[in-house]
């Protein structure tokens, strides 16, 4: 008996970068094919980030364009809020699909609680000598998840027509009318409870742009008030002016002493509340990108990029192995060592199961420079 088909949304950027520093279209294709072999009743939709085309190796970009034109790969609109993760989850929710990813989507736990339902999230990793292995998983909760949950719980109010408020919206509470109280009483059928029911309606007004003009007007008015008050209180009292004109020194001294408290009071007022009203604090920027530590020093990597161009032959020494490739040390003309990476997918056709199958520690060989990751300051090499 044929099993019913399931819909699956694939987090392509996540699987293409699994165990690598730079995404690989070949690795993504292998992962999807292996998944379809195991889940032959699945109908998959592959989604990658809008920047995916520019991050893969130059030799894979033409193939990516063909796959995108054939609708085999989908990218979110450029500048989409939440980037590819939000786009993936929106698709999965709309078609009630399973998500294939090793990500936990912590920022979206409150908005998409079905991520914790059994069978809605599947992860996968390539295992040496075995191939891709897929298994059901549950999202991992963390700091981002808790922060997102607290932010959305603050917006847990009842709005007309089931509207869900977003962060940045202004909610204006409106006191319940007699008609709304009667409606609540009729719906519940409990008179005692209905007397305590207050149905809150809210008007949601988007405030996506800063209201700069009102703030500047308020600041200018406050500054003007400070100058005016300082001028008024800084004027010499009438007694001091008269004493000065008549030459009465004791009277002038007495008038000056009478003026001092007012002057100090004005100075205090000028330096505290009025001044703070003029200052407008800036809104801190929110960093959306994940932190990625660079591998090589900046000066050394700049010399490497200057010495070798994409496609050039690079002499290197095999110094270590990873689960999906080998670490290659390249010594520059000035003697600076640079650490590079050669994934198993670039070590032969077909690719070997392990880098150790074709390389040995200490081997000195010529490699071809495939691509450069300037952000992490590391280069990807392939066997020539």
CA dist 312 and 370 (Å) reads: 8
Fold (topology level) of 298-383: OB fold (Dihydrolipoamide Acetyltransferase, E2P) (2.40.50)
Most distant pair of Cα atoms in the chain: their distance:
117
What mean pLDDT do residues 289-313 have?
Answer: 84
The pair of structure tokens assigned to 312 is 């050039």
What mean pLDDT do residues 30-49 have?
Answer: 93
What mean pLDDT do residues 358-375 have?
Answer: 92
- Determine the pLDDT at residue 196: 46
Sign of dihedral through CA atoms 58, 60, 63, 67?
negative
Does position 302 have pLDDT exceeding 50, yes or no?
A: yes
CA dist 327 and 200 (Å) reads: 62
The string of pLDDT tens digits covering residues 208-245 is: 444 445 555 555 666 666 566 555 555 545 555 555 55
CATH code for the domain defined by 6-137: 3.40.50.11980
Does position 121 have pLDDT exceeding 80, yes or no?
A: yes
CA dist 206 and 193 (Å) reads: 34
Does position 95 have pLDDT exceeding 90, yes or no?
A: yes
The string of pLDDT tens digits covering residues 355-366 is: 898 999 999 999
Residue scoring higher pLDDT (302 or 1): 302
CA dist 94 and 97 (Å) reads: 8
Give every CB contact of residue 330 below 8 A, 6+ residues apart in sequence: 304, 314, 315, 316, 317, 337, 338, 339, 340, 379
CA dist 80 and 50 (Å) reads: 9
Give every CB contact of residue 64 below 8 A, 6+ residues apart in sequence: 25, 52, 53, 56, 73
CA dist 187 and 194 (Å) reads: 9
Contacts 24+ apart (CB under 8 A), 282-287: 283/210
> With bands split at pLDDT 50, 70 and 90, how would you rate the model's confidence at 271?
very low
For residue 174, CA distances in Å to 2, 155, 168, 204 come to: 56, 16, 19, 12
Helices of type H across the chain: 12-16, 25-38, 52-55, 61-69, 83-95, 143-153, 178-188, 191-194, 212-234, 238-246, 249-271, 273-278, 298-307
Domain locations in the chain as residue ranges: 6-137, 156-206, 212-278, 298-383
CA dist 365 and 311 (Å) reads: 15
Which residue do the tokens 């020494």 mark? 317
The pair of structure tokens assigned to 287 is 């960093």
Mean residue pLDDT of the chain comes to 75
């Amino acid at each position: 008996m044929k099993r019913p088909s399931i819909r699956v949304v694939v987090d392509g950027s996540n699987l293409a970068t699994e165990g690598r520093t730079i995404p690989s279209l070949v690795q993504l294709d292998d992962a999807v094919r292996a998944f379809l072999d195991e889940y032959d009743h699945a109908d998959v939709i592959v989604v990658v980030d809008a920047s995916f085309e520019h991050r893969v190796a130059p030799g894979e970009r033409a193939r990516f364009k063909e796959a995108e034109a054939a609708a085999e790969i989908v990218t979110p609109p450029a500048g989409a809020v939440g980037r590819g993760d939000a786009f993936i989850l929106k698709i999965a929710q709309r078609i009630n699909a399973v998500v294939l990813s090793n990500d936990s989507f912590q920022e979206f736990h409150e908005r998409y609680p079905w991520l914790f339902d059994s069978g809605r999230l599947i992860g996968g990793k390539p295992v040496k000598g075995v191939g891709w292995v897929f298994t059901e998983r549950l999202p991992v909760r963390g700091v981002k998840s808790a922060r997102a949950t607290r932010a959305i719980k603050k917006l847990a109010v009842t709005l007309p027509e089931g509207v869900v408020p977003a962060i940045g919206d202004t909610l204006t509470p409106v006191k319940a009318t007699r008609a709304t109280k009667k409606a609540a009483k009729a719906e519940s059928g409990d008179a005692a409870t209905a007397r305590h029911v207050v149905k809150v309606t809210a008007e949601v007004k988007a405030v996506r742009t800063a209201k700069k003009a009102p703030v500047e007007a308020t600041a200018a008015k406050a500054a003007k008030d400070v100058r005016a008050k300082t001028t008024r209180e800084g004027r010499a009292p009438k007694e001091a002016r008269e004493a000065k004109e008549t030459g009465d020194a004791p009277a002038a001294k007495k008038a000056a002493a009478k003026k001092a408290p007012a002057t100090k009071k004005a100075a205090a007022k000028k330096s505290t509340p009025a001044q703070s009203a003029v200052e407008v604090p800036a809104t801190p920027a929110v960093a959306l990108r994940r932190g990625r530590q660079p591998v090589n020093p900046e000066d050394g990597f700049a010399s490497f990029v200057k010495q070798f161009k994409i496609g050039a032959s690079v002499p290197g020494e095999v110094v270590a192995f990873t689960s999906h490739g080998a670490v290659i040390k390249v010594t520059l003309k000035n003697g600076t060592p640079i650490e590079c990476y050669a994934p198993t997918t670039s070590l032969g056709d077909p690719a070997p199961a392990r880098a150790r199958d074709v390389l040995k520690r200490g081997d000195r060989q010529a490699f071809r420079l495939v691509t450069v990751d300037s952000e992490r300051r590391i280069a990807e090499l392939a066997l020539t």
